[in-house]
Structure formats: structure tokens, C-alpha cells
């Protein structure tokens, strides 16, 4: 089966209705989507990604009004967040409806749900009578894809169709927010900054620690990793020069490393631009003939905390 890349929403819908998986664009990263209510389609997602079944998936729908079909409860803070930030890079962890297969939630009673902010995928979702389960469209643990070609390069003929929506605008996965005893908890830092969430809910508890028994997607200790070993550097430090090392720097290149073996996330220090470039630049460095990649941590405010989280997970071998 040869993979097709295009913008034909009806064709993507036909594949999904038939129980197949397709690549879909979102504002965060590209997803590997299947019918979330069809266990066979969900199993295909796990198989194609080689994803462990204990790592739950995110369910995607096209508007807040359809949420009651998939969850049994919407706490007031969650409703306020959804009204303010959907469509957008925010995932809510809520009590699941019995019609959502346990396979989607890895047997947990909560389901992660979001409304992606991409016109093609919103149109696709509106045309379907089922939601889509859609983790990032990459082999499990590898760098997340931010273009349709990235999906084709790494999943190839296992995906019959990839809906091409251009480069992902945010470039980081969604922020995941749940609620414990009525209090908001962030389980994964991502494309929505904490201050945006706290503007609606008040202070949040951040629990995006590494775990082998995740409550939400994206909590595993090793994730988003290049094949070449990666080491984190604190701001102001630099690696020892060597001929076969590469570097991912925030604002300016490191001395002693050939410039073709470096990528600068944002020369102006724009954290949003850095997030947009993160996975693409990691992928480019991984494609070079290198023995090691060094990555500089960013200021921890706003999206910088989410970028550092991804780099830390990418450095775990």
C-alpha cells in the first residue's frame, strides 16, 4: 500500500470510516488518527506506532458541544478552559463515557480530550460521526512530526493517507490538564503556557513527572528522542569540541562546533519560534552523521518549560 499525501478530506474520511488510520495535521504536531470508538482501529494505532498499550491516547473532536458523547462529567473549571481555549493546544482529562473503549484510556477511568485548532482537521472531524484517537504520528518514543512529509518518512506504507495541512504552527504537543478534588493539575506541559491556564483556574499543580504508569498521555520518562544520544546543557555552558557532535542552541551557536552541525531555535530569543522549530531541528540533527547531540536548555518561563521538558525526556536513554 503506497502512502498518499493530499488535502482531500472526503478521502481521509473514507479511510477512517473503513477502520484504517490516517495522518492528520493539528496546530501542535501531526497525529496518527483512527476511529476512537472502533477497538480494531485503535489497535492499529498502537501497532503502527509500536506504542505500549499502557500509554493512553488523546481523543479528538470538533467542538465542545459533542463532549457529552464521550465524557460523563465536565467540572466548571474545565468548561471555562474549553470555552476560552478550544480549539487550541489544550487537552482535558475527564471521566470517560462507557462508549469510549478501555483501550483508548489504557483501562483508566479518565479520557484525554481536545479540539485541535486546524481548519482541515476540524472539517474532517465535523464530517465524521465518531471522534478520532490520535497520538503523534511517529514511531513510539521518537521525535514528533511537524509536517506531512515527516509522517511519510517515518511511518511510510503503514498509513494509506496523510492529510497535508502544512507545517504545524505550535510545534509542541498539547498541555494536559486534569482535576483532582476539584483542583486543576497539569499532567503534561505543552503548547499552552501555564499562565494562560492559571488566568482561568487560578494556581495549578504541575505533575508532569516521568512515570512508567502514566495517568495521561506523554508522561513516560523517555520520549521525543532522536536516535543519536542527546545531552542537556545548562544555559551558559558549552560542550567540548569534537568533529562528530551537533548542537541545538537557543539563540546563538556554540564555539568550536561546525555551523552545519548546529541549529539555532530562535536568534531573537522568541520562545514561540523556538517551540515551532524544536522537533524539526532535532530531526535535522538526527539525520546528520553525528555521534552525539548537545541541547541547550531554555529559560523556564512560558513555553520554555515545555521545551525543556521535551529535551529532558529526549535525553533519557
| CA–CA dist 210, 261 (Å, integer) | 30
* Residue 136 marked ligand-binding: yes
Provide the CB-side half-sphere exposure for 229 (13 A, CA): 6
Q: Sign of dihedral through CA atoms 203, 209, 214, 219? A: positive
Within 64-217, residue ranges assigned H as helices are 76-85, 102-105, 119-127, 148-155, 194-201
Cis link prior to 87 (omega < 30° from 0)?
yes
- Cα–Cα distance measured from residue 20 to residue 22, given in angstroms and rounded to the nearest whole number: 7
The verdict on whether residue 238 carries a ligand-binding annotation is no
Is 276 a known ligand-binding residue? no
Give the whole-angstrom CA distance, residue 45 versus residue 311. 25
18 annotated ligand-binding residue: no
Residue 60's DSSP bridge partners are 114, 132
Whole-number Cα distances in Å, 35 to 13, 77, 88 = 10, 28, 21
CB count within 10 Å of CB 300 equals 12
Annotated ligand binding at 51? The verdict is yes
Minimal CA–CA distance to 32: which of 23, 43, 40? 23
State the alpha helices, DSSP H only, in 176-270: 194-201
Q: What is the dihedral of CA 230, 233, 238, 240, to 10 degrees?
A: -40
C-alpha cell at 264: 539555532
Q: Is 174 annotated as a binding residue?
A: yes
313 carries a ligand binding annotation: no
> Rounded CA gap, 227 and 285, in Å?
10
DSSP, collapsed to helix, strand or coil, labels residue 68 as helix
Residue with cell 558549552: 238
Instruction: State yes or no: 317 annotated in a binding site.
Output: no
Binding-site residue numbers for ATP are 51, 136, 144, 188, 224
Binding-site residue numbers are 28, 51, 60, 114, 134, 136, 144, 174, 188, 224
Binding-site residue numbers for L-threonine are 28, 60, 114, 134, 174
Amino acid at each position: 500500500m503506497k502512502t498518499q499525501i493530499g488535502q482531500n478530506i472526503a478521502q481521509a474520511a473514507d479511510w477512517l470510516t473503513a477502520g484504517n488510520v490516517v495522518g492528520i495535521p493539528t496546530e501542535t504536531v501531526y497525529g496518527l488518527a483512527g476511529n476512537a470508538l472502533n477497538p480494531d482501529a485503535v489497535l492499529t494505532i498502537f501497532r503502527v506506532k509500536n506504542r505500549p498499550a499502557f500509554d493512553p491516547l488523546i481523543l479528538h473532536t470538533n467542538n465542545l458541544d459533542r463532549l457529552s458523547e464521550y465524557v460523563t462529567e465536565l467540572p466548571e473549571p474545565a468548561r471555562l478552559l474549553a470555552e476560552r481555549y478550544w480549539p487550541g493546544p489544550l487537552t482535558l482529562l475527564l471521566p470517560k463515557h462507557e462508549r469510549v473503549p478501555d483501550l483508548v484510556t489504557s483501562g483508566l477511568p479518565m479520557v484525554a480530550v481536545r479540539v485541535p485548532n486546524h481548519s482541515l482537521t476540524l472539517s474532517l472531524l465535523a464530517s465524521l460521526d465518531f471522534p478520532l484517537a490520535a497520538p503523534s504520528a511517529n514511531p513510539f518514543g521518537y521525535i514528533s512530526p511537524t509536517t506531512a512529509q515527516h509522517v511519510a518518512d517515518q511511518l511510510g506504507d503503514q498509513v494509506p493517507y496523510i492529510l497535508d495541512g502544512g507545517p504545524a504552527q505550535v510545534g509542541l504537543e498539547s498541555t494536559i490538564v486534569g482535576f483532582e478534588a476539584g483542583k486543576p493539575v497539569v499532567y503534561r506541559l505543552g503548547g499552552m503556557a501555564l499562565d494562560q491556564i492559571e488566568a482561568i483556574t487560578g494556581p495549578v499543580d504541575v505533575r508532569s513527572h516521568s512515570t512508567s504508569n502514566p495517568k495521561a498521555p506523554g508522561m513516560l520518562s523517555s520520549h521525543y528522542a532522536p536516535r543519536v544520544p542527546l545531552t542537556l546543557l545548562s544555559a551558559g555552558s558549552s560542550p567540548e569540541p569534537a568533529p562528530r557532535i551537533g548542537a541545538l542552541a537557543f539563540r546563538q551557536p556554540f564555539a568550536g562546533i561546525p555551523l552545519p552541525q548546529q541549529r539555532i531555535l530562535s536568534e531573537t530569543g522568541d520562545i514561540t519560534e523556538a517551540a515551532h522549530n524544536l522537533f524539526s531541528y532535532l530531526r535535522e540533527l538526527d539525520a546528520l552523521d553525528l555521534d552525539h547531540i548537545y541541547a541547550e536548555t531554555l529559560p523556564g518561563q512560558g513555553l520554555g518549560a515545555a521545551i525543556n521538558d521535551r529535551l529532558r525526556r529526549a535525553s533519557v536513554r
